[in-house]
Structure 1
Amino acid sequence: MKKSRYYPFERNRYFYGKLLTVRDFESEQKYFNDKRRMMNRLLFGSGVITGMQVIAVDDKSVSVEMGAAIDALGREIVVPAPVTLKLSMMDGFTNNEYAKNVYLCISYDEKGKEPVHSIANSTVRSDEVSEYNRMLESYRLFIREEAPDPSALPMAGLTEQTVVLYQSSQVRVLQVTPKYVNPGQTFHAMIRIEKTLQAGKVELEYELATERLAAPGGSTVRFAEPSDAQETEYAFQIELCADAVGSGKAQIGVIPGSAVLRVGDKRIDGMSRETGVVHIMHGSVEEQLMDDFLKQPLEVSLESSSDPCIYLAKIGLLQMGPTYVIERVEQVPFGEFVYNPSAAYRLALAEARRNRSVPAGPDSMPELSPALIREAMRSAERDKETPEAAKKTEQAAPLSGTEELRSGFVDIPISPFAKSALSFGKAVKSFVSQEIEHGYGPGDVYIVTNIEERTYDAVSDMLNSGQRAYFGAADVFTGSEFEAELPDIQTGIVAYPQKGTFRIGIKLRQVAEARTVRVRWWAYRSTTGEGEGAAEAETKGNPEIVTLSEAAVSLENKPE
């Protein structure tokens, strides 16, 4: 299998008296292998299925654990036992002064086994000839010292486009944009900065070049690596808004001559002029993406290099005199995984069950029924998915009468690199929203908030776990699979009873990149007692406001 051409399929036809040669037996094996490998590639994709963790066993060696994978040609790769190798002794490792990250790769390989004497060949050759009696399906481990082109990774262009703005042996700057957006939709472009441990502190600034896109937060992009940080990858978002003219192509890139990139004390010029393309379209983006996937030609679905590999780990090296030490190992850095359908189904069920319950904590609302809160969450989620609702960040929606519940959200931008005061590496500047009207007018109300997080990746979308809402202290999930990607922040509320408004404030507890934090709020107050008559009058005048008992009856009768 040196090429990805599996078809057309041909199989042996047997008949009495047929002379079987080596070609016939090889054709028999090829027929079944090609069919199985094509189905592997089309149904499951490529990547690690299970295991194959890369562990640093000492300063210079790594161990690859047992595991299985499927490569881009659909061939199965199995590591039957752990193997330990010294990096400098592996294929592909050169004397690069240990200034680069290196990538440990695995690929399919075949090896001959059980050499035997070949009787047929000995009749035409005087010397003794041996042939292998078996072919062992094995693997090959090797080192690559350059990161792969993002477009060469499997499924890379299905939902988003990645453009390399700058690349060298020590730093790479990537721009990631969604493939489709709706007219008038607000979305985010992701800027990723990858660097080696040996590279100096990175600073980046440039002006956005856009076509049919607006940048509400300004057209200047800035990033400065914190002085106390020791990460090798940073990411931050740029808020963009597509115009409402109609369908077409929008572009985003760098204005030529505006880019300033510094790595340590060195200034680097030569940012790429390549632009990312975002398609503006009407209708469902999800349906369009699935339509693209289903309609792509077979040769595109099976496209791959003749010798594909899987990137098992990114290994960061530190120079120590004339040699090196392994500083860190990042597993499967480009997300090349094959997800078991049964496991994905069970995870989706677990996520659905978890979403049916209301989070408990100091910021929960015990006086409201779980059914009513769940309906409020669903209503808020429906509102947030529309472009019109995205502009109404402070619009309140009444949900009940006896215990009126109103909900809304506000996006608070944080910019820790713009005149932020730092004390021992911790940010101490607070960020406060504009005044928000809760809709009740003057008087006392009860307000609670949560922090919302959105993860944009195919796995989260498949498991319906891309959106999370954190109530109370989110740091209780630190170290678990539910850990938030948001920075560690503290929220607070100041209300103005006489004005019927309030503000939401957030304070950073750690250094973080510039981004926007979405805070959702709920406000309610009791209309019993002195205000009962006014509430009753408001209920009669507004058919959208119902009593708590009416809402409970409606929700109890509604099927899940």
Structure 2
Amino acid sequence: MAVVKKSRLYPFERNRYFYGKLLTVRDFESEQKYVNDKRRLLNRLLYGSGVVSGMQVVPVDDKTISVEMGVAIDYIGREIVIPAPVTLKLSMIEGFTNNEYKKNVYLCVNYDEKGKEPVHSVGNSAVRSDEVSEYNRVLESYRLSIVEEAPAPSSFEFVRLMENVVIVYQDDNVRITQRMPKYVNAGEVAEVRLVVEKTLQTPRIAFDFEYEAKGFIPLGPEGNSVSFREAGDANETEFVLVYNVKAPEETGVAALLRIPSQKAKLTIGDEIIPIDANASHSIDVVKEPVAERILKDWHERSLEQAVEGSADQSICLAKISLLQMGPTYMIEKVDRVPFGEYIENASLLQRLGQSSRGAALHKFFASAEAHDLEYDAKPALDVTYHPDRNAFDFKLGIPRPQPLYDEIATGTMEVALESIGKTGGFFFSRGKKNFISNEISHGLGDGQVTVVVGLEENESSLAAERNGSGKRVYYGQSDVFKGTEFEPDIPNVSLGSIVYPEKGTFRIGMKLQGETETTASVIAVRWWAFKSLSGAAPAIDSRLAEAIAQAAAGRE
């Protein structure tokens, strides 16, 4: 069944009926053509082209896909209907070749017509001796096909109207494009997107370049340097790197952004790939809002530009990523409608426009975070603008205040006692009168510190209850208070410490001095660590003693 491939328009003609008119095949065909052509013209101009509903593509197994029922409109306004789900092996679809497996292929759908219900042609049999059959119906159907080359971004009308796209590099397995707005306003921050597309089995890609700008001002800490590195564990076939530039303050000029080939380095795996072409953007700086300028271009396009030249273009339903598995292949991933060929419902778009009216389109949003810098560093402010959501990200570096006093840390360590005999004598462990702690982190970092150690008496001890003094800490030899009202209810032990300056830790050593009656089952050791700003461990003097006393008073 022949299918018209061109969308050339003719003046619309209607059949004129009158009594006694002889109706021929031409008249009936003209009737159908009038209705179909007018509807298709309005479809194309009012709704555009793409998937209206359904047509989801899902993998069934390693070599098979299923396309769900759905509706689409092609690039000359013809309706494409898949009336029932269809399941096919990739090898059974037109256009699929078996000689290359490690690539991305694209599943497309096209309008197609098929003859249906063959019947005997009475009229033709009157003039021909052999039996002649004609189709009684024409089935408006569809045709699925595989395309192994991705369509150029500029082949889509909405891209041509809104974006300036250049191809930086392209081969059978890799395509690198750079995209930015076709128009910008004076002083506006424009987003530039570097899009890297590859097959799954292509080695990792790295791309570094320095762009040249005429009118544009580079933004960001890297200036005009751009560096892309593919994520090591990502099972992806498309990556987007975004950087920003600021448009000139003057309108009515064209700002230029260019990637010189000599300043670009592309690495695929371990191989350095030469860049032959100089990718270049020329962006118009306009006075009116960008949306108005795009609408102006839309309104001023000719009818031929709106309709002609798209008859053979397919609707891409899915990008299918294949992996080579020895002598065959397997489907690794399916991305639905990879080029955004959708037709949205007008009622839905109206409601979405009402919900966002006066909100996000006319407000700016900001997020901020702060981080510490060295006390002698200068404050730092890094600002990133996201024009797609009118958002600013502020990162503020604030110098830490210079410490006015030396650093002090404190803590406690508890040691369980084991009583033996009737005298209440004790050992740290049976038969052993020495105790060495594990390494303790004082939290002041590496460097020299001085550690002071004392025994802390519990508030519930007998001595504390007698004099009502509450918790006490004894430094040095506690037996000097024996026989006084300040006699501690703790063992008589000698204390020492070992400091590890490179590790920021220390140990506490304890040794029993004779036997002491005690009701305590656990003794608490209070330690203080002191570090000077100079990093040298100072001698224990009145300043250290005063600092410890002040800190102890603060804790209580």
TM-score range, shorter chain: 0.5 to 0.7
CA distance change for structure 1 residues 204 and 411 in 2, over 3 Å: closer, same or farther?
farther
Structure 1 position 231 matched with structure 2 position 236: yes
2-structure distance, mates of 1:171, 1:44:
33
Structure 1 position 78 matched with structure 2 position 93: no
Equivalent residue letter for 1:331: R
SS at match of 2:159: coil
Q: Could you list the per-position Cα deviations for residues 142-189 of structure 1 after superposition, in whole angstroms to 9, with x for gaps in the alignment?
A: 100000011112322111121111111111001101111122322121
Q: Which residue does 1:104 correspond to in 2?
A: 107
- Aligned-pair identity in percent equals 50
- What is the correspondence of 1:155-554 to structure 2 with a 5 Å cutoff? 155-217=158-220, 218-349=223-354, 434-435=379-380, 454-455=387-388, 466-467=389-390
2-structure distance, mates of 1:493, 1:220:
23
Matching residue within 12, 15, 38 for 2:15:
12
Q: Could you list the per-position Cα deviations for residues 439-487 of structure 1 after superposition, in whole angstroms to 9, with x for gaps in the alignment?
A: xxxxxxxxxxx998553xxxxxxxxxx55799xxxxxxxxxxxxxxxxx
Q: Which residue does 1:534 correspond to in 2?
A: none
2-structure distance, mates of 1:143, 1:433:
59
Equivalent residue letter for 2:48: G
Q: State the TM-score, normalized to the length of structure 2.
A: 0.65
* Number of residue pairs the alignment of both structures matches: 391
- Asked whether the equivalents of residues 66 and 81 of structure 1 are also in contact (C-alpha less than 8 Å), the reply is yes
2-structure distance, mates of 1:334, 1:101:
14
- Asked whether the equivalents of residues 379 and 396 of structure 2 are also in contact (C-alpha less than 8 Å), the reply is no
- Asked whether the equivalents of residues 379 and 398 of structure 2 are also in contact (C-alpha less than 8 Å), the reply is no
SS at match of 2:97: coil
Q: Kindly state the Cα deviation for residue 235 of structure 1 after the two structures are TM-superposed.
A: 0.7
Q: Could you list the per-position Cα deviations for residues 336-370 of structure 1 after superposition, in whole angstroms to 9, with x for gaps in the alignment?
A: 000011222334455569x6xxxxxxxxxxxxxxx
Of structures 1 and 2, the larger Rg is shown by: 2
- Asked whether the equivalents of residues 189 and 246 of structure 2 are also in contact (C-alpha less than 8 Å), the reply is yes
Q: Which residue does 1:119 correspond to in 2?
A: 122
1-structure distance, mates of 2:251, 2:332:
51
1-structure distance, mates of 2:272, 2:23:
69
1-structure distance, mates of 2:29, 2:203:
56
Q: Could you list the per-position Cα deviations for residues 256-282 of structure 1 after superposition, in whole angstroms to 9, with x for gaps in the alignment?
A: 322221111222223433422211122
1-structure distance, mates of 2:290, 2:176:
27
Structure 1 position 34 matched with structure 2 position 37: yes
CA distance change for structure 1 residues 283 and 223 in 2, over 3 Å: closer, same or farther?
same
2-structure distance, mates of 1:154, 1:185:
25
Equivalent residue letter for 1:108: Y
1-structure distance, mates of 2:218, 2:264:
17
SS at match of 1:175: strand
2-structure distance, mates of 1:271, 1:286:
35
Q: Kindly state the Cα deviation for residue 245 of structure 1 after the two structures are TM-superposed.
A: 3.9
> Aligned-pair RMSD on alpha carbons?
3.1
CA distance change for structure 1 residues 123 and 211 in 2, over 3 Å: closer, same or farther?
farther
1-structure distance, mates of 2:197, 2:136:
48
- Asked whether the equivalents of residues 50 and 69 of structure 1 are also in contact (C-alpha less than 8 Å), the reply is yes
Q: Which residue does 2:131 correspond to in 1?
A: 128
Q: Kindly state the Cα deviation for residue 104 of structure 1 after the two structures are TM-superposed.
A: 0.4
Structure 1 position 140 matched with structure 2 position 132: no
Q: Kindly state the Cα deviation for residue 497 of structure 1 after the two structures are TM-superposed.
A: 10
Q: Hey, which of these two has a bigger chunk of strand by percent?
A: 2
- Asked whether the equivalents of residues 368 and 396 of structure 2 are also in contact (C-alpha less than 8 Å), the reply is no
- Asked whether the equivalents of residues 176 and 190 of structure 1 are also in contact (C-alpha less than 8 Å), the reply is yes
2-structure distance, mates of 1:436, 1:196:
39
51-60 or 159-168, which moves further after superposition? 159-168
Q: Kindly state the Cα deviation for residue 123 of structure 1 after the two structures are TM-superposed.
A: 2.7
- Asked whether the equivalents of residues 367 and 392 of structure 2 are also in contact (C-alpha less than 8 Å), the reply is no
2-structure distance, mates of 1:349, 1:244:
32
Equivalent residue letter for 1:250: A
CA distance change for structure 1 residues 115 and 256 in 2, over 3 Å: closer, same or farther?
same
Q: Kindly state the Cα deviation for residue 246 of structure 1 after the two structures are TM-superposed.
A: 3.6
CA distance change for structure 1 residues 436 and 497 in 2, over 3 Å: closer, same or farther?
farther
SS at match of 1:91: coil
SS at match of 2:127: coil
65-74 or 8-17, which moves further after superposition? 8-17
SS at match of 1:234: strand
Q: Which residue does 1:49 correspond to in 2?
A: 52
2-structure distance, mates of 1:164, 1:317:
24
Q: Which residue does 1:391 correspond to in 2?
A: none
- Asked whether the equivalents of residues 110 and 143 of structure 2 are also in contact (C-alpha less than 8 Å), the reply is yes
Q: State the TM-score, normalized to the length of structure 1.
A: 0.64
Q: Could you list the per-position Cα deviations for residues 315-348 of structure 1 after superposition, in whole angstroms to 9, with x for gaps in the alignment?
A: 0011111111111100000000000112223344
2-structure distance, mates of 1:267, 1:278:
31
Equivalent residue letter for 1:199: T
Q: Which residue does 2:436 correspond to in 1?
A: none
- Asked whether the equivalents of residues 78 and 139 of structure 1 are also in contact (C-alpha less than 8 Å), the reply is yes
- Asked whether the equivalents of residues 410 and 433 of structure 1 are also in contact (C-alpha less than 8 Å), the reply is no
SS at match of 1:286: helix
- Asked whether the equivalents of residues 72 and 304 of structure 1 are also in contact (C-alpha less than 8 Å), the reply is no
Equivalent residue letter for 1:23: R
2-structure distance, mates of 1:238, 1:436:
18
Q: Kindly state the Cα deviation for residue 308 of structure 1 after the two structures are TM-superposed.
A: 2.4
2-structure distance, mates of 1:331, 1:81:
18
79-88 or 275-284, which moves further after superposition? 275-284
Q: Kindly state the Cα deviation for residue 290 of structure 1 after the two structures are TM-superposed.
A: 1.3
Q: Could you list the per-position Cα deviations for residues 484-540 of structure 1 after superposition, in whole angstroms to 9, with x for gaps in the alignment?
A: xxxxxx989869899xxxxxxxxxxxxxxxxxxxxxxxxxxxxxxxxxxxxxxxxxx
2-structure distance, mates of 1:435, 1:213:
24
CA distance change for structure 1 residues 68 and 119 in 2, over 3 Å: closer, same or farther?
same
Give ranges in structure 1 of 5+ residues lacking alignment: 356-376, 385-406, 413-431, 438-449, 456-465, 471-489, 499-560
Q: Kindly state the Cα deviation for residue 57 of structure 1 after the two structures are TM-superposed.
A: 0.6
CA distance change for structure 1 residues 61 and 491 in 2, over 3 Å: closer, same or farther?
farther
1-structure distance, mates of 2:28, 2:315:
31
Q: Could you list the per-position Cα deviations for residues 376-413 of structure 1 after superposition, in whole angstroms to 9, with x for gaps in the alignment?
A: x99xx55x5xxxxxxxxxxxxxxxxxxxxxx977799x
Q: Kindly state the Cα deviation for residue 299 of structure 1 after the two structures are TM-superposed.
A: 1.4
- Asked whether the equivalents of residues 65 and 88 of structure 2 are also in contact (C-alpha less than 8 Å), the reply is yes
Q: Kindly state the Cα deviation for residue 42 of structure 1 after the two structures are TM-superposed.
A: 0.9
Q: Kindly state the Cα deviation for residue 126 of structure 1 after the two structures are TM-superposed.
A: 2.2
